[in-house]
Chains A and B, each alone.
Chain A
Amino acid sequence: MKKNKRRTALYIPGHNPAMVQQGGVYGADTVLLDLEDSVALSEKDAARILVRNMIRTVDFYNTEVTVRINHIDTPFGITDLEYIVPVKPEAIRLPKIETKHDVIRVIELIEKIEKKHGIPHGNIKIHPMIETAIGVQNVFEIAGAHPCIDAITIGGQDLTADMGIVKTKDNAGLDYARKAIVMAAKANRIDALDSVFADVNDDEGLRIETEYAKKIGFTGKAVINPRQIDIIHDVFNPTDEEIRVAIKIVKAFNENAARGIGVFALDGKMIDAPVVTRAQHVLNLADIDINDL
């Protein structure tokens, strides 16, 4: 069964068979098979054929399989879709989306390819990447442009380059963009995925950045090295205390709801619908079904 959370998305260069075939063993929630920046211009054809074959034959266990294609206006993007859509990855990540028209254009191309191959439309999810200042300005419209979009993500490296600033460890220059992207995701009830943490030797820095990402509302983070996965999961997983409180709240809600009571007090605090929603979210993250308890 696929995981219903996206705490980690592990980037894997699409031209490297050893890494692609092992993508599912590291425990990331998502593998991001990359045809874009990690693949040399001369190897684009080789990477897309390899990724297509691997998706057809490799069992990625319960890891969500996502492919990042090249931008549709490059000589590679449309061909990427022609090779990848027929093997039906769970999601396709679209780099440098700047307007809702950009994303609609790609979705229409996907639909055309699906029709050609007799594949029902709507099963492949779309994850636009916001990597330019104009993309940030349009992020609300982008996030809600189509029902196939179920996550939106920030590309921190490209965005700082587009803004002409240096990417610092405290991400000061990206703060507005990250919060705008999170808010657009929340408004559209989709996931918000944070950018990579580039220094794979700085575990403490990764933890601090992930804690901040969680605090401002991101639901997960991209990963460039499997050793980053456990730290990020640890941050995004609820604590034992959070789980205990959530169980108590949801149980009390269910008992009160059965008696027709929507708002009640628990341990001196008012419990209403938003509190219950947050508690339910904690249980989802912990893979706990209240009915099993």
Chain B
Amino acid sequence: MVIKQQAQAGTFESSDMLVLVEPVSEGTGRVIELHSPVMVQFGKSIKEEINNALDEYEIKDVRLICNDKGALSATISARVETAIRRALQIQDGVLPS
């Protein structure tokens, strides 16, 4: 699927992750910028979690800026999924725009 607009989800609070999604031109691939206090220990698995969420929506080209504040994997995947759905304009169960 193709990212349509910039969107974000999550917060800067402890145990959360703030995810910003931006569209990029076709063929750019996935550009993931991850900031985390546990980058050394968990950077690889956090990126894997992010990529799994992108796989679910078959996103090939995207720029993601992820500011992790010690989020569990359930939170990481939730924030990425929310941001992607917002960027794809496919949110369901929200206020009509």
Interface residues of A (CB under 8 A from B): 16-18, 21, 41-42, 44-46, 48-50, 52-54, 56-58, 75-80, 82-83
Residues of B within 8 A of A21 (CB): 15, 72, 74-75
Q: B93 near A45 (CB under 8 angstroms)?
A: yes
Residues of B within 8 A of A18 (CB): 13-16
Of B13, B75, B82, B95, which contacts A41 at CB under 8 A? Answer: B95
Q: How far is the CB of A70 from chain B (nearest CB, A)?
A: 8
> Bound state CA distance, A56 and B82, in angstroms?
17
Of A16, A44, A46, A58, which contacts B74 at CB under 8 A? Answer: A58
Q: B77 near A53 (CB under 8 angstroms)?
A: yes
Q: B13 near A75 (CB under 8 angstroms)?
A: no
Q: How far is the CB of B88 from chain A (nearest CB, A)?
A: 12
Of B10, B16, B74, B92, which contacts A53 at CB under 8 A? Answer: B74
Residues of A within 8 A of B14 (CB): 18
Q: How far is the CB of B17 from chain A (nearest CB, A)?
A: 8
Q: B71 near A17 (CB under 8 angstroms)?
A: yes
> Bound state CA distance, A65 and B75, in angstroms?
18
Interface residues of B (CB under 8 A from A): 9-10, 13-16, 71-75, 77-79, 81-82, 85-86, 91-96
Q: How far is the CB of A21 from chain B (nearest CB, A)?
A: 6
* A-B pairs with beta carbons under 8 Å apart, 7 shown: A18-B16, A45-B82, A45-B85, A45-B93, A54-B74, A57-B73, A75-B95
Q: How far is the CB of A56 from chain B (nearest CB, A)?
A: 7
Q: A76 near B94 (CB under 8 angstroms)?
A: yes
Main secondary structure of the interface of B (DSSP, over half): loop
Residues of B within 8 A of A42 (CB): 95
Of A49, A58, A78, A82, which contacts B82 at CB under 8 A? Answer: A49
> Bound state CA distance, A79 and B94, in angstroms?
9
A75 and B15 in contact (CB under 8 A), knowing A45-B85, A46-B10, A49-B78? Answer: no
Q: B79 near A46 (CB under 8 angstroms)?
A: yes
Q: B15 near A17 (CB under 8 angstroms)?
A: yes
Q: B75 near A53 (CB under 8 angstroms)?
A: yes
> Bound state CA distance, A48 and B81, in angstroms?
11
A75 and B96 in contact (CB under 8 A), knowing A18-B13, A45-B91, A49-B82? Answer: yes
Smallest CB-CB A-B distances: 9 pairs? A79-B93, A18-B15, A53-B74, A17-B75, A50-B78, A57-B74, A46-B82, A53-B78, A49-B78
Which residue from chain A places its CB closest to the CB of B13 in the assembled complex?
A18
Told that A18-B15, A45-B85, A79-B93 touch, could you supply 13 new A-B pairs with CB distance under 8 A?
A44-B93, A44-B94, A45-B91, A45-B93, A46-B9, A46-B78, A46-B82, A53-B74, A56-B74, A57-B72, A57-B73, A75-B93, A83-B93
Of B13, B16, B77, B92, which contacts A45 at CB under 8 A? Answer: B92
> Bound state CA distance, A50 and B17, in angstroms?
12
Q: B95 near A49 (CB under 8 angstroms)?
A: no
Residues of A within 8 A of B72 (CB): 17, 21, 57-58
Q: How far is the CB of A15 from chain B (nearest CB, A)?
A: 9
> Bound state CA distance, A77 and B14, in angstroms?
29
Residues of A within 8 A of B93 (CB): 44-45, 48, 75-80, 82-83
> Bound state CA distance, A21 and B76, in angstroms?
13
> Bound state CA distance, A45 and B94, in angstroms?
6
Q: B16 near A17 (CB under 8 angstroms)?
A: yes
Residues of A within 8 A of B74 (CB): 17, 21, 50, 53-54, 56-58
Residues of A within 8 A of B79 (CB): 46, 50
Q: How far is the CB of B48 from chain A (nearest CB, A)?
A: 15
